[in-house]
Amino acid sequence: MFERFKNIPRKRKQAWLWNTLIGIGVFVLILIALANIDATPYNTFTSQKYRMRIKYPAYWTMVKNPPGGAVAVFVSPKQNPMDLFQESINVVVQPLPGQATDLTKFSELTVKQLTGTFKKYVEVLEGRNVKLGGRPAYRFVYKTGGNDPDGREYLHVWAVRGPYAYIITYAARAGDFDEYKLELRKVLRSFEFL
Protein backbone atom coordinates (compact mmCIF):
# COMPACT_ATOMS: atom_id res chain seq x y z
CA MET A 1 0.00 0.00 0.00
CA PHE A 2 2.77 2.45 0.92
CA GLU A 3 4.69 1.42 -2.21
CA ARG A 4 2.05 3.12 -4.36
CA PHE A 5 2.32 6.28 -2.23
CA LYS A 6 6.08 6.40 -2.83
CA ASN A 7 5.53 6.48 -6.58
CA ILE A 8 3.33 9.62 -6.43
CA PRO A 9 5.17 12.78 -7.48
CA ARG A 10 6.20 15.07 -4.63
CA LYS A 11 4.00 17.99 -5.78
CA ARG A 12 0.90 15.75 -5.78
CA LYS A 13 1.76 14.54 -2.26
CA GLN A 14 2.07 18.13 -1.07
CA ALA A 15 -1.19 19.12 -2.74
CA TRP A 16 -2.93 16.11 -1.19
CA LEU A 17 -1.52 16.99 2.23
CA TRP A 18 -2.61 20.65 1.96
CA ASN A 19 -6.10 19.67 0.78
CA THR A 20 -6.40 17.23 3.67
CA LEU A 21 -5.28 19.85 6.22
CA ILE A 22 -7.68 22.46 4.80
CA GLY A 23 -10.52 19.93 4.91
CA ILE A 24 -9.76 19.11 8.55
CA GLY A 25 -9.55 22.83 9.38
CA VAL A 26 -12.93 23.53 7.79
CA PHE A 27 -14.43 20.57 9.67
CA VAL A 28 -13.05 21.88 12.99
CA LEU A 29 -14.42 25.38 12.29
CA ILE A 30 -17.85 23.92 11.55
CA LEU A 31 -17.74 21.97 14.83
CA ILE A 32 -16.80 25.12 16.75
CA ALA A 33 -19.62 27.08 15.11
CA LEU A 34 -22.13 24.35 15.93
CA ALA A 35 -20.95 24.23 19.53
CA ASN A 36 -21.70 27.95 19.89
CA ILE A 37 -25.25 27.74 18.56
CA ASP A 38 -27.72 28.02 21.41
CA ALA A 39 -30.71 25.78 20.70
CA THR A 40 -32.02 26.23 24.24
CA PRO A 41 -35.75 27.02 24.46
CA TYR A 42 -36.59 30.23 26.33
CA ASN A 43 -39.59 31.47 28.31
CA THR A 44 -40.54 35.13 28.52
CA PHE A 45 -41.15 37.16 31.67
CA THR A 46 -43.05 40.44 31.27
CA SER A 47 -43.68 43.11 33.88
CA GLN A 48 -46.40 45.53 32.84
CA LYS A 49 -45.80 47.52 36.02
CA TYR A 50 -42.18 48.27 35.07
CA ARG A 51 -42.78 48.06 31.31
CA MET A 52 -40.05 45.50 30.59
CA ARG A 53 -39.64 42.03 29.13
CA ILE A 54 -36.83 39.46 29.38
CA LYS A 55 -36.32 35.88 28.25
CA TYR A 56 -34.80 33.16 30.40
CA PRO A 57 -33.84 29.51 29.74
CA ALA A 58 -36.95 27.30 29.91
CA TYR A 59 -35.10 24.73 32.02
CA TRP A 60 -34.36 27.33 34.72
CA THR A 61 -36.87 27.91 37.52
CA MET A 62 -38.60 31.25 37.92
CA VAL A 63 -38.94 32.11 41.62
CA LYS A 64 -42.48 33.13 42.53
CA ASN A 65 -42.69 36.29 44.68
CA PRO A 66 -38.91 36.78 44.82
CA PRO A 67 -37.44 38.23 48.02
CA GLY A 68 -35.47 41.43 48.39
CA GLY A 69 -37.46 43.61 46.05
CA ALA A 70 -36.50 41.74 42.90
CA VAL A 71 -38.96 41.92 40.03
CA ALA A 72 -37.86 38.49 38.75
CA VAL A 73 -35.42 35.76 39.79
CA PHE A 74 -34.41 32.81 37.61
CA VAL A 75 -32.39 29.91 39.07
CA SER A 76 -30.36 27.31 37.18
CA PRO A 77 -30.91 23.61 37.86
CA LYS A 78 -28.46 21.87 40.19
CA GLN A 79 -25.47 20.54 38.28
CA ASN A 80 -25.32 17.57 40.64
CA PRO A 81 -26.64 16.62 44.11
CA MET A 82 -23.64 18.34 45.74
CA ASP A 83 -24.27 21.67 43.98
CA LEU A 84 -24.58 24.10 46.89
CA PHE A 85 -24.80 27.32 44.89
CA GLN A 86 -27.10 27.48 41.91
CA GLU A 87 -26.45 30.20 39.36
CA SER A 88 -29.13 32.86 39.20
CA ILE A 89 -30.24 35.84 37.19
CA ASN A 90 -32.30 38.50 38.89
CA VAL A 91 -33.92 41.68 37.73
CA VAL A 92 -34.31 44.59 40.13
CA VAL A 93 -36.03 47.85 39.30
CA GLN A 94 -35.39 50.58 41.85
CA PRO A 95 -36.06 54.29 42.07
CA LEU A 96 -32.97 56.35 41.36
CA PRO A 97 -31.39 57.72 44.52
CA GLY A 98 -31.58 61.53 44.74
CA GLN A 99 -27.93 62.15 43.92
CA ALA A 100 -27.80 59.65 41.00
CA THR A 101 -30.05 61.12 38.34
CA ASP A 102 -28.46 59.67 35.19
CA LEU A 103 -26.54 56.58 34.07
CA THR A 104 -23.09 58.04 34.75
CA LYS A 105 -23.90 59.16 38.28
CA PHE A 106 -25.83 55.98 39.07
CA SER A 107 -22.92 53.85 37.79
CA GLU A 108 -20.36 55.76 39.87
CA LEU A 109 -22.50 55.43 43.00
CA THR A 110 -23.30 51.75 42.45
CA VAL A 111 -19.70 50.72 41.72
CA LYS A 112 -18.56 52.64 44.80
CA GLN A 113 -21.20 50.86 46.93
CA LEU A 114 -20.39 47.40 45.53
CA THR A 115 -16.63 47.74 45.90
CA GLY A 116 -16.92 49.57 49.22
CA THR A 117 -19.14 46.87 50.71
CA PHE A 118 -16.63 44.08 50.10
CA LYS A 119 -13.48 46.27 50.12
CA LYS A 120 -10.39 44.06 49.91
CA TYR A 121 -12.41 40.95 49.01
CA VAL A 122 -13.48 42.31 45.61
CA GLU A 123 -11.53 41.88 42.40
CA VAL A 124 -12.99 44.05 39.65
CA LEU A 125 -12.83 42.19 36.34
CA GLU A 126 -14.67 44.55 34.01
CA GLY A 127 -16.46 47.87 33.90
CA ARG A 128 -17.63 49.30 30.58
CA ASN A 129 -20.44 50.98 28.73
CA VAL A 130 -22.84 48.67 26.86
CA LYS A 131 -26.46 48.68 25.66
CA LEU A 132 -29.45 47.15 27.41
CA GLY A 133 -32.78 47.11 25.66
CA GLY A 134 -31.41 49.58 23.13
CA ARG A 135 -30.47 52.11 25.82
CA PRO A 136 -27.05 53.13 27.15
CA ALA A 137 -26.10 50.86 30.04
CA TYR A 138 -23.14 49.88 32.19
CA ARG A 139 -21.68 46.39 32.63
CA PHE A 140 -19.79 45.64 35.84
CA VAL A 141 -18.17 42.27 36.61
CA TYR A 142 -16.35 41.36 39.81
CA LYS A 143 -15.52 38.37 41.94
CA THR A 144 -15.04 37.70 45.61
CA GLY A 145 -12.95 35.02 47.27
CA GLY A 146 -9.68 35.53 45.38
CA ASN A 147 -8.68 32.49 43.30
CA ASP A 148 -10.95 30.16 45.26
CA PRO A 149 -13.28 28.42 42.73
CA ASP A 150 -15.90 28.46 45.50
CA GLY A 151 -15.76 32.26 45.59
CA ARG A 152 -18.53 34.17 43.85
CA GLU A 153 -18.53 36.02 40.56
CA TYR A 154 -21.14 38.62 39.65
CA LEU A 155 -22.12 40.34 36.44
CA HIS A 156 -24.37 43.39 36.66
CA VAL A 157 -25.82 45.28 33.73
CA TRP A 158 -27.88 48.35 34.50
CA ALA A 159 -29.67 51.04 32.58
CA VAL A 160 -31.62 54.11 33.62
CA ARG A 161 -35.07 54.88 32.27
CA GLY A 162 -37.13 57.66 33.70
CA PRO A 163 -36.95 57.67 37.50
CA TYR A 164 -35.81 54.01 37.66
CA ALA A 165 -32.64 51.96 37.41
CA TYR A 166 -33.09 48.52 35.81
CA ILE A 167 -30.45 46.13 37.11
CA ILE A 168 -29.85 42.60 35.84
CA THR A 169 -27.48 40.50 37.94
CA TYR A 170 -25.98 37.10 37.14
CA ALA A 171 -24.44 35.38 40.17
CA ALA A 172 -22.39 32.19 40.04
CA ARG A 173 -19.71 30.25 41.84
CA ALA A 174 -16.45 31.60 40.37
CA GLY A 175 -15.50 28.15 39.07
CA ASP A 176 -18.83 27.86 37.22
CA PHE A 177 -19.22 31.43 35.97
CA ASP A 178 -18.83 30.55 32.27
CA GLU A 179 -21.10 27.50 32.47
CA TYR A 180 -24.10 29.47 31.14
CA LYS A 181 -22.25 32.01 28.99
CA LEU A 182 -24.37 31.44 25.89
CA GLU A 183 -27.62 31.51 27.83
CA LEU A 184 -26.61 34.68 29.68
CA ARG A 185 -25.73 36.42 26.43
CA LYS A 186 -29.18 35.60 25.03
CA VAL A 187 -30.93 36.69 28.25
CA LEU A 188 -29.17 40.08 28.19
CA ARG A 189 -29.85 40.57 24.49
CA SER A 190 -33.51 39.66 24.98
CA PHE A 191 -34.18 42.42 27.52
CA GLU A 192 -36.52 45.07 26.18
CA PHE A 193 -38.32 48.11 27.48
CA LEU A 194 -42.02 48.20 26.62
| 63 shares a domain with 7 | no
Q: Is the pLDDT of residue 191 over 90?
A: yes
Domain boundaries, position 19 = 2-35
Let me know whether 60 and 128 are in one domain: yes
Pairing type for strands 192-193 and 52-57 reads antiparallel
In this structure, the answer to whether residues 118 and 66 fall within a common structural domain is yes
Measured CA to CA, the distance from residue 44 to residue 69 in angstroms comes to: 20
Which pLDDT does position 85 carry in this prediction?
Answer: 80
Banded pLDDT at 37 (limits 50, 70, 90): low
Distance CA 44, CA 53 (A): 7
**94 shares its domain with 22:** no
Same domain, 23 and 102: no
